[in-house]
């Protein structure tokens, strides 16, 4: 056998996760065929396998949204500059990364149009037309779309110039109602991340300097990646009346007077796919949570001689039939790849369960079932297969969550000064629980010296400690980390 063929027999080689996490990440995205680079700098192509993953995520999230009364709509891609400029903090925050349309064909436009970096401006403008009286409130709309933010340094899924997301925008009659909606959507993200993506998160508030441009309060769900860096995985913003005043969304209230409404927005993007990869992956590649995996069970048929193929084919049909239509199952019949290659390939692509079926399995009416997360093998009788697969998919989902939570806890450290923080960040990496006096200067000093930022001020009190910069005693503890 030629050397090259022998290499092929063991599948694609990917960088070591332990030795070079960044290279490993790229190899997994490309090798698992989730996404690819495009000729447009900084923009990526999401391949069918990656898009199917996104579709499953969408389905779960959309169902959760609608259960809270959200309706979907669609607003235009292009936003007139004058609209974007209406809320001062908002435009200041986004201008450095806005892409502009200046020409229509050969005609120069009278007013530049922004390719939406987010849709507050256009949606608030429309709401100002639609909201007349208290009877029109609340307005609770979401759109599934893409946005463009001109990024200089990009990474597949984590930071691309164009990305897919959903953005929900609501207006309410009272400040209390808007705040309640902001928190409700944060909890939708928390539940989605934890229950469907098996990613444990810390929920709470952002500091003023980390808030979304124009927000009175930004809430976040922060997750810890496998290299000890944090990923903001869903944010919800309470705008108070900042946007509604700028966009003149006022209404006739119940007492016959006019009041300004209160608004919120909340979003979760394809960045979260980067989170799935970095939280659950291992040296062999991706591990997908069963609930969102495009292929939950991959069947690798094994045959040596042509005459065995017929027997195996008939048997695999029976295996597929036994699994029914509730499980997403695929049989890999590719002829030019060996079973060993396919094992590796589907481990790289993260299918939660693998079934191996050959002539001997056909004869004994059983299969070999292999878990992707533990790589544990077990023989299962065909008669028991369906129940066993259902149970194992649920077990893998749970154990991915448990494993990620254990990792998060083991990588959450305590520190009382900057030297300790630096030692932790350089050596063990992870979340650091330390105090914060509330001053922007101390926050900036930590960032400058350690490259770690305050990721979240948790809702659940994390105790008290001195501020690591100014030594003010007994301040609220917050989560610091280096982040994506
Ligand atoms: Zn301080």
Quote the pLDDT of residue 91.
Answer: 85
Residue ranges of the domains in the chain?
21-280, 295-394, 412-481
| Whether pLDDT at 396 is above 70 | yes
- Are 34 and 27 contacting, i.e. CB atoms less than 8 angstroms apart? no
How remote is the CA of residue 90 from the centroid of ligand 1, in Å? 28
Q: How far apart are CA 321 and CA 381, in angstroms?
A: 14
Q: What is the mean pLDDT of residues 343-349?
A: 97
Distance 414 CA to ligand 1 centre (A): 16
Distance CA 178, CA 290 (A): 35
Q: How many C-alpha atoms does 98 have within 13 Å on its Cβ side? A: 24
pLDDT digits (tens, 9 = 90+) for 413-439: 999 999 999 999 988 799 999 999 999
Q: What is the mean pLDDT of the chain?
A: 95
Q: What angle do CA 8, 12, 17 make, to 5 degrees?
A: 150
CA 436 to ligand 1 center in whole angstroms: 6
Q: Which tens digit of pLDDT belongs to each residue from 88-118?
A: 888 888 888 999 999 999 999 999 999 999 9
- Please tell me the distance from the alpha carbon of residue 197 to that of residue 301, in angstroms, as a whole number: 29
- pLDDT bracket for residue 7 (50, 70, 90): very low
Q: Please, what CATH class does the domain formed by 295-394 belong to?
A: alpha beta
Q: Number of helices (H) and strands (E), helices first, in the chain?
A: 15, 24
- Residues 237 and 212 sit within 8 Å (Cβ to Cβ): yes
* Residue 454 CA, ligand 1 centroid: distance in Å: 13
Q: Which two tokens stand for residue 118?
A: 């987010």
* Eight-state DSSP code of residue 87: S
Pairing of strands 230-238, 217-224: antiparallel
Which stretch of 21-25, 175-179, 307-311, 477-481 has the lowest confidence by average pLDDT?
A: 307-311
Average pLDDT of span 56-63? 98
Q: What separation in Å is there between the alpha carbon of 474 and the centre of ligand 1?
A: 11
pLDDT of residue 3: 39
pLDDT at 369 over 70: yes
pTM for this model (two decimals): 0.95
Does residue 367 have a pLDDT over 80?
yes
Taking alpha carbons only, the member of 336, 307, 333 closest to residue 320 is 333
Fold of 412-481: Translation Initiation Factor IF3 (3.30.110)
pLDDT at 125 over 50: yes
**Closest residue by Cα to residue 378 from 364, 386, 389, 367:** 367
Per-residue pLDDT at 235 exceeds 90: yes
Q: How far is the CA of 211 from the centre of ligand 1 (A)?
A: 19
Mean pLDDT of 431-449: 97
Using DSSP's 3-state secondary structure scheme, residue 140 falls into strand
**Spatial contact of 157 and 35, defined as CB atoms under 8 Å apart:** yes
Return the H-helix or E-strand segment holding 459: none
Question: Does residue 376 carry a pLDDT above 80?
Answer: yes
d(CA 432, ligand 1 centre) in Å: 16
- Output the CA angle 156-189-66, nearest 5 degrees: 110
Q: Positive or negative CA dihedral for 14, 15, 16, 21?
A: negative
204 pLDDT exceeds 60?
Answer: yes
Of the chain, the percentage scoring pLDDT greater than 70 comes to: 98
State the Cα–Cα distance between residues 116 and 99, nearest whole angstrom: 8
The Å distance, Cα 442 to ligand 1 centre, comes to 5
Cα 294 to Cα 311: distance, rounded to the nearest angstrom: 28
Give the distance between the most distant pair of CA atoms in the chain.
Answer: 87
Which of 64, 359, 331, 367 lies closest to 197 in space, CA to CA? 64
What is the rounded distance in angstroms from the CA atom of residue 456 to the CA atom of residue 479?
5
Predicted pLDDT of residue 10:
61
Question: Is the per-residue pLDDT at 394 higher than 70?
Answer: yes
How does DSSP classify residue 78? E
The pLDDT tens digits for 244-255 are 999 999 999 999
Q: Is 52 helix (H, G, I), strand (E, B) or coil?
A: helix
CA of 437 to the centre of ligand 1 (A): 4
How far does the centroid of ligand 1 lie from the alpha carbon of residue 443, in Å? Answer: 7
What backbone torsions phi and psi does residue 426 show, to the nearest 5 degrees? -80, -25
Taking residues 130-145, what's their average pLDDT?
A: 97
Residue range 21-280, CATH number: 3.30.930.10
> For residues 426 and 432, what is the distance between their CA atoms, to the nearest angstrom?
12
Tokens coding 468? 């690591």
How far is the centre of ligand 1, averaged over its atoms, from the C-alpha of 92 (Å)?
Answer: 27
pLDDT, position 6 = 42
pLDDT confidence of residue 415: 96
Q: How far apart are CA 480 and CA 137, in angstroms?
A: 38
Residue 51 to residue 258: CA distance in whole angstroms: 46
Checking if the pLDDT of 8 tops 60, the result is: no
Residues sharing a CB contact under 8 Å with residue 238, sequence separation 6 or more, in sequence order: 178, 179, 182, 215, 216, 217, 218, 219, 264
CA of 205 to the centre of ligand 1 (A): 18
* 305 CB-contact burial (10 Å; exposed 0-12 / middle 13-18 / buried 19+): exposed
Task: Report the b/e string of 285-295 with b at 16+ CB within 10 A.
Answer: bbbbbbbbbbb
How confident is the model over 399-417, as a mean pLDDT? 97
Give the pLDDT band of residue 4 (cuts 50, 70, 90): very low
Ligand 1 centroid distance, CA of 444 (Å): 10
State the Cα–Cα distance between residues 269 and 61, nearest whole angstrom.
11
How many angstroms is it from 53 CA to the middle of ligand 1?
Answer: 43
For the cut 70, the answer to whether the pLDDT of residue 174 exceeds it is yes
Distance in Å, CA 438 to ligand 1 centroid: 7
Identify whether the C-beta of residue 327 lies closer than 8 Å to the C-beta of residue 298. Answer: no
């Amino acid at each position: 056998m030629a050397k090259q063929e022998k290499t092929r027999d063991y599948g694609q080689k990917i960088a070591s996760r332990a030795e070079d996490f960044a290279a490993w990440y790229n190899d997994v995205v490309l090798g698992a065929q989730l996404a690819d680079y495009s000729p447009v700098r900084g923009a990526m192509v999401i391949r069918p396998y990656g898009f199917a993953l996104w579709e499953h995520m969408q389905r779960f999230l959309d169902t959760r949204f609608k259960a809270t009364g959200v309706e979907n709509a669609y607003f235009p891609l292009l936003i007139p500059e004058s609209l974007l400029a209406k809320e001062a903090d908002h435009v200041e925050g986004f201008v450095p990364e806005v892409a502009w349309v200046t020409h229509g064909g050969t005609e120069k436009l009278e007013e530049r149009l922004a390719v939406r970096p987010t849709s507050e401006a256009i949606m608030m403008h429309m709401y100002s037309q639609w909201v007349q009286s208290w009877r029109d409130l609340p307005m609770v709309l979401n759109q599934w779309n893409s946005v463009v933010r001109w990024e200089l340094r990009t990474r597949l899924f984590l930071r691309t110039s164009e990305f897919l997301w959903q953005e929900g925008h609501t207006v309410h009659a009272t400040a209390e109602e808007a705040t309640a909606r902001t928190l409700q959507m944060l909890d939708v993200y928390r539940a989605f991340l934890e229950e469907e993506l098996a990613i444990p998160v810390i929920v709470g508030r952002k500091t003023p300097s980390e808030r979304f441009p124009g927000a009175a309060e930004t809430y976040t769900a922060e997750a810890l990646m496998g290299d000890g860096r944090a990923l903001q995985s869903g944010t919800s913003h309470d705008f108070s009346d900042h946007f509604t005043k700028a966009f003149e969304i006022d209404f006739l209230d119940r007492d016959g007077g006019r009041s300004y409404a209160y608004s919120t927005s909340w979003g979760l993007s394809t960045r979260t796919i980067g989170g799935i990869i970095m939280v659950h992956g291992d040296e062999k590649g991706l591990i997908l949570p069963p609930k969102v995996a495009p292929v939950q069970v991959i069947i690798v048929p094994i045959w040596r001689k042509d005459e065995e193929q017929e027997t195996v084919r008939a048997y695999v049909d029976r295996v597929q039939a036994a699994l029914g239509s509730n499980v997403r199952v695929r049989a890999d019949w590719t002829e030019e790849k060996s079973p060993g290659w396919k094992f590796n390939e589907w481990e790289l692509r993260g299918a939660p369960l693998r079934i191996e079926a050959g002539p001997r399995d056909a004869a004994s009416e059983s299969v070999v079932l292999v878990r992707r997360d533990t790589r544990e093998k077990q023989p299962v009788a065909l008669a028991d297969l369906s129940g066993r697969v259902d149970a194992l998919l649920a077990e893998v989902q749970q154990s991915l969550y448990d494993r990620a939570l254990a990792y998060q806890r083991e990588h959450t450290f305590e520190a009382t000064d900057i030297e300790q923080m630096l030692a932790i960040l350089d050596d063990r990496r992870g979340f650091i629980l330390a105090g914060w006096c509330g001053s922007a200067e101390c926050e900036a000093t930590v960032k400058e010296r350690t490259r770690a930022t305050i990721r979240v001020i948790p809702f659940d009190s994390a105790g008290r400690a001195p501020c690591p910069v100014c030594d003010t005693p007994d301040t609220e503890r917050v989560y610091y980390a280096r982040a994506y």
